[in-house]
């Protein structure tokens, strides 16, 4: 009699036990969205509080201004997302951004090269640096922190071999792009850099979620040894993500050149930390294997909105931006820890 009860199907104890893994899998799937939803809720709350506290804050142009002022950071953070999804890190992105501005300014202003030749060259240099670091990380089995730290010093040092002073960019093409406003309505507008950044977001989303490379990135970040046993191209994937990060850093440097109209060796100091913060606040696990491009976009918007609120306040130092970002990082890292601790 008892044997019949145990094997009686879904309504019996065995059925309920069999359902538990399925329910656990569903819960784990939902847990992946918790950090992204938390970031979205935080962004909405900041916008509501800002709108209640400050005049002219609750407008669409405020959000668009955040995109305009942080388009270059968004592109860099997208590249960082690829790297962190594999469980790696890239500390060289800020220096590559600065190097890109210096190369652009020196060639366009100093040498008279046409922008249509300079921009592809800068992107190629950034991708080549990322490719080299990816090869060293994988084939020599060196920690990404060490390799990209060396890349950071290398790129920043190359900036000063070009020049120690700021180099203004007076080229007509750069100036025209910097001054162009794309009107969305009578009172709202964006810059060409925002369109470029959104195009990068769209391409990154497609690559990560609808291509074999994207599936490999998540698999390597989830468990590199398992990915190797499954026959996935781990080496090619790891090299690819650092190449993508180098390319995005160089493109971010081009967008910063449009924004600043200058090249300087001290541009983008600390941008690598801002990019990592945006990715983590956006819900991507530092251990790899889980995260979304949308989360990174929300993370960049949160950082930009913090700066906007501080500027509206008027009585706070800009250093409060770092304080608030640090507090948010603590919160989201703890949230990640709680989520990963519940996984079997």
Q: Which of 31, 57, 55 is nearest to 46 (CA)?
A: 57
Residue 2: pLDDT over 60: no
Residue 25 lies in a domain: no
**Tokens matching residue 195:** 């369109």
Share of the chain above pLDDT 90, in %: 67
CB 194 within 8 A of CB 68: yes
Residue 17 lies in a domain: no
pLDDT band per the 50, 70, 90 thresholds, residue 324: confident
Cβ of 63: how many Cβ atoms within 10 Å?
Answer: 17
The confidence score (pLDDT) of residue 7 equals 42
Residue 13 lies in a domain: no
Domain total of the chain: 1
pLDDT in tens, 135-156: 999 999 999 999 999 999 999 9
CATH number, residue 227: 1.10.3470
Whole-number Å distance between alpha carbons of 136 and 342: 35
Residue 148 lies in a domain: yes
Residue 22 lies in a domain: no
Under 8 Å CB-to-CB from 342, ≥6 apart: which residues? 31
Residue 327: pLDDT over 50: yes
pLDDT in tens, 36-93: 888 999 899 998 888 888 887 878 888 899 999 999 999 999 999 999 999 999 999 9
pLDDT band per the 50, 70, 90 thresholds, residue 26: very low
User: What number is the average pLDDT over the span 163-172?
Assistant: 93
Residue 41 lies in a domain: no
Share of the chain above pLDDT 70, in %: 90
The confidence score (pLDDT) of residue 329 equals 86
pLDDT in tens, 225-265: 999 999 999 999 999 999 999 999 999 999 999 999 999 99
Among 18-22, 42-46, 220-224, 246-250, the minimum mean pLDDT is found in 18-22
Whole-number Å distance between alpha carbons of 172 and 286: 42
The confidence score (pLDDT) of residue 28 equals 52
User: What number is the average pLDDT over the span 317-344?
Assistant: 78
pLDDT in tens, 172-204: 999 999 999 999 887 899 999 999 999 999 999
Residue 151, domain extent: 69-341
Radius of gyration of the chain (CA): 23
Whole-number Å distance between alpha carbons of 109 and 287: 43
pTM (predicted TM-score): 0.89
Residue keyed to tokens 């992946």: 32
Helix runs in the chain, H state only? 2-6, 13-31, 34-53, 60-85, 93-105, 115-139, 144-162, 172-179, 192-210, 212-222, 224-229, 234-260, 271-281, 293-313, 319-341
**Residue 173 buriedness (CB in 10 A; 0-12 / 13-18 / 19+):** middle
Residue 5: pLDDT over 80: no
User: What number is the average pLDDT over the span 281-291?
Assistant: 90
Residue 187 lies in a domain: yes
Residue 77 lies in a domain: yes
The confidence score (pLDDT) of residue 29 equals 55
Whole-number Å distance between alpha carbons of 340 and 286: 11
Q: Which DSSP category does 211 fall into? A: S
């Amino acid at each position: 009699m008892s044997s019949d009860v145990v094997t009686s199907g879904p309504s019996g104890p065995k059925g309920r036990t069999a359902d538990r893994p399925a329910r656990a899998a569903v819960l784990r799937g939902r847990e992946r969205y918790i950090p992204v939803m938390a970031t979205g809720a935080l962004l909405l709350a900041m916008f509501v509080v800002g709108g209640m506290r400050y005049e002219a804050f609750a407008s669409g142009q405020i959000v668009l201004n955040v995109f305009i002022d942080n388009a270059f950071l968004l592109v860099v953070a997208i590249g960082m997302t690829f790297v962190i999804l594999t469980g790696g890190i890239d500390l060289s992105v800020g220096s590559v951004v600065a190097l890109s501005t210096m190369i652009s300014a020196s060639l366009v202003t100093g040498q008279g090269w046409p922008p249509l030749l300079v921009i592809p060259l800068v992107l190629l240099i950034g991708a080549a640096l990322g490719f080299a670091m990816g090869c060293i990380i994988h084939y020599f089995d060196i920690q990404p922190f060490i390799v990209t730290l060396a890349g950071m010093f290398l790129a920043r040092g190359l900036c000063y071999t070009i020049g120690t002073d700021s180099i203004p960019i007076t080229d007509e093409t750069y100036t025209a792009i910097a001054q162009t406003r794309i009107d969305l309505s009578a009172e709202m507008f964006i810059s060409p850099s925002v369109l470029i950044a959104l195009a990068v977001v769209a391409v990154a989303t497609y690559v990560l979620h609808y291509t074999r490379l994207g599936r490999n990135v998540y698999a390597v970040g989830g468990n590199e040894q398992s990915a190797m046993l499954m026959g996935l191209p781990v080496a090619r994937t790891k090299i690819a993500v650092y190449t993508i990060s180098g390319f995005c850093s160089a493109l971010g440097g081009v967008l910063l050149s449009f924004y600043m109209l200058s090249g300087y060796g001290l541009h983008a100091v600390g941008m690598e930390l801002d990019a990592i913060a945006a990715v983590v606040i956006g819900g991507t696990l530092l251990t790899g294997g889980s995260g979304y491009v949308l989360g990174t976009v929300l993370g960049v918007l949160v950082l930009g909105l913090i700066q906007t609120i501080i500027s509206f306040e008027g009585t706070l130092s800009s250093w409060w931006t770092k304080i608030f970002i640090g507090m948010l990082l603590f919160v989201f890292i703890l949230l990640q820890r709680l989520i990963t601790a519940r996984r079997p």
